[in-house]
A and B are shown apart, each in its own frame.
Chain A
Amino acid sequence: MKTRFFSGVSILVLAACATQPRPPPLPNAQPSTTPELAAAIDADARRSDHEPDAKIRADLAAEAGRDADTCLAREPQSAACLYGGAIALGLEARAHPARAGESLTSMLDKLARAESADPNYDEAGPARVRALVLIRAPGWPLGPGDAEAGLDAARRAVALRPLYPPNLLALAEGLAKTGDRSGARDAYARARDAAQALPDAADRDEWLREADQGLKH
């Protein structure tokens, strides 16, 4: 039963970790510039996170994939396009669990290239998202999950943007997964403090909830 029981569906949580706040694209406007395409992918990811209908999630994944392809055709080495491409692959993995292993491997490759291009993009997003994929994905040999490598990536994200709550939350998750409960509690507390120092917003509330939940364990 070890048998990869549920290994595909456990990927479902990954897309949610990839997105961060960005202004939504203009309604009815076809994205054409790199920032617009990146914002459109992000908007699809946000909608997908809260979308219960699998068909709609698959449509959003397809749309994000098309925007990522357009973006990468325009600027193949751009961190924004590589990062957007990675996010789109996360949505693809979520929408099609049977192909999740392949999608996640490509996702990790794009994140590595995005990190090389601009490690600071999206508040150290490439390292942070890489961390969460490695921490949450099924581990060897069933999937690309590798908690130690994920923790390393989370540390890189925190080193670059130490006061960005999602980076601290990723670090806490990596520490917890690798057995450092004390370190995880400390990181959750730092994430809570960092979030409390930010202006009131929906994302801030979500980060506070996650930190508080982590501190309860």
Chain B
Amino acid sequence: MTTLLAASLATLVFCAPGYPGGTGDAQPLLDQFAAAAAAVSGWPAGSLGAVYDPTEEGGLAKLAGGDAVLAFVPYPFYVEHAAQLHLTPLVQADMADIGPQQRWTLVAKSGRVTGPASMTGYHLLSTAGYAPEFIRHGALQDWALPADVKIEFTGQVLSALRRAAAGEPVAVLLDQTQAAALPSLPFAAELKSVAESADLPVALIAVVGSRLAPPRAKALQEGLLKMGHTPGSGDSLAPLRLRGFVPPKLPSRTAP
């Protein structure tokens, strides 16, 4: 009975700072995903819930709740908060459009940034700007940013690119989808890609602390890895632009 009661309280917290979508919009999709994940993992029906928060602060608050046993977060969020939240990766998201990994691209006004040192006094804007540790030591680990570069979060990437193109001391770190779309902008010729990351995970599902018993975690991991590969299991993935999940493959410095 105690086990069943505990199982009913398991919550998966989705948090994607900087990306579109409100909590209310997302909830039906998350409910569908949680139900499918529980079913494919052999968890009792209704034993896994899911909540969404579009902000870093809100996501952290929800993850602090005792019923939050799992986190579904972008890799930058993971790098920034894995130690604090004691996150252990379970699976890596395989995105429908870009796969399980992506490269980040640093873009600046053409001719202005010739190396890391030339970014002194710059503002670096990005949807991952809430995760400076990820930017300095993950995405740009081979591009030693000067200490005075101000890393800032923005959800308005187009505005940031306009500022860079206009000659402001602004560089923009783009994810793979954004970088692929860059040539379509009317002012693309004013901008230049100056650095690119290695392949990095896009998003992860991780266990929070020791809140999930190892047998249940293992069952869930096996179930998630089956999603998208068994009949009907992909229905809840498509609305989230997911193709499925793969075993976590983290760069060495962030591996558990």
Task: Name A's B-contacting residues (CB within 8 A).
Answer: 1-10, 12-13, 138-143, 145-148, 177-178
Query: Which residues of chain B (74-128) have a CB below 8 Å from chain A?
Result: 74, 93, 95-98, 127
The yes or no answer to B194 lying at the interface (CB within 8 A) is no
Return the CB mask of B190-221 against A: 1 if under 8 Å, else 0. 00000000000011000000000000000000
B53: min CB distance to chain A, Å: 12
B26 contact from A6, A148, A178, Cβ within 8 A: A6
Contact between B93 and A1 (Cβ–Cβ < 8 Å)? yes
Q: Please report the C-alpha to C-alpha distance between residue A139 and residue B19 in the assembled complex, in whole angstroms.
A: 9
Contact between B177 and A147 (Cβ–Cβ < 8 Å)? no
Give the chain B neighbours of A10 by CB distance below 8 A.
20-22, 25
Q: Which secondary structure characterizes the binding site on chain A?
A: loop
Return the CB mask of B54-73 against A: 1 if under 8 Å, else 0. 00000000000000000011
Contacts beyond the supplied A141-B177, A178-B159: 11 A-B pairs with Cβ under 8 Å: A1-B95, A3-B95, A6-B16, A6-B240, A9-B21, A139-B20, A139-B156, A139-B158, A140-B185, A143-B20, A148-B158
Interface size on B, residues (CB 8 A): 38
* Given known A-B contacts A2-B177, A140-B158, A9 and B19 have beta carbons under 8 A apart: no
Contact between B159 and A141 (Cβ–Cβ < 8 Å)? no
Contact between A6 and B184 (Cβ–Cβ < 8 Å)? no
Contact between B22 and A1 (Cβ–Cβ < 8 Å)? no
Contact between A142 and B21 (Cβ–Cβ < 8 Å)? no
B21 contact from A5, A146, A147, A148, Cβ within 8 A: A5
Q: What is the count of residue pairs linking A and B with beta-carbon distances less than 8 angstroms?
A: 97
Contact between A140 and B181 (Cβ–Cβ < 8 Å)? yes
Give the chain A neighbours of B96 by CB distance below 8 A.
3
* Given known A-B contacts A3-B97, A4-B97, A140-B157, A12 and B162 have beta carbons under 8 A apart: no
A101: min CB distance to chain B, Å: 12
The yes or no answer to B241 lying at the interface (CB within 8 A) is yes
The yes or no answer to B178 lying at the interface (CB within 8 A) is yes
Contact between A9 and B74 (Cβ–Cβ < 8 Å)? no
Give the chain A neighbours of B25 by CB distance below 8 A.
6, 9-10, 12-13
Q: Please report the C-alpha to C-alpha distance between residue A4 and residue B177 in the assembled complex, in whole angstroms.
A: 9
Most buried by A among B155, B156, B177, B178: B156
Give the chain A neighbours of B158 by CB distance below 8 A.
139-140, 146, 148
Most buried by B among A3, A10, A142, A146: A3
Give the chain B neighbours of A178 by CB distance below 8 A.
156, 159
The yes or no answer to B149 lying at the interface (CB within 8 A) is no
Q: Please report the C-alpha to C-alpha distance between residue A10 and residue B157 in the assembled complex, in whole angstroms.
A: 18
Which 4 A-B pairs rank lowest in CB-CB distance, beginning with the nearest? A6-B21, A141-B181, A138-B20, A1-B203
Q: Please report the C-alpha to C-alpha distance between residue A131 and residue B239 in the assembled complex, in whole angstroms.
A: 27
Give the chain B neighbours of A147 by CB distance below 8 A.
156, 159
Give the chain A neighbours of B21 by CB distance below 8 A.
5-7, 9-10, 138
A145 contact from B20, B98, B162, Cβ within 8 A: B20
B139: min CB distance to chain A, Å: 13
Give the chain B neighbours of A138 by CB distance below 8 A.
20-21
User: Which chain B residue lies CB-closest to A179?
Assistant: B156
Q: Please report the C-alpha to C-alpha distance between residue A139 and residue B95 in the assembled complex, in whole angstroms.
A: 19
Give the chain B neighbours of A148 by CB distance below 8 A.
156, 158-159, 162
Contact between A1 and B159 (Cβ–Cβ < 8 Å)? no
Give the chain A neighbours of B239 by CB distance below 8 A.
8-9
A144: min CB distance to chain B, Å: 10
B163: min CB distance to chain A, Å: 10
Contact between B203 and A142 (Cβ–Cβ < 8 Å)? no
Give the chain B neighbours of A13 by CB distance below 8 A.
22, 25
Q: Please report the C-alpha to C-alpha distance between residue A9 and residue B30 in the assembled complex, in whole angstroms.
A: 12
User: Which chain A residue lies CB-closest to B128?
Assistant: A2
* Given known A-B contacts A9-B26, A141-B184, A2 and B202 have beta carbons under 8 A apart: yes
Query: Which residues of chain B (197-256) have a CB below 8 Å from chain A?
Result: 202-203, 239-241
User: Which chain A residue lies CB-closest to B102?
Assistant: A2
Give the chain A neighbours of B157 by CB distance below 8 A.
139-140
Contact between A2 and B175 (Cβ–Cβ < 8 Å)? yes
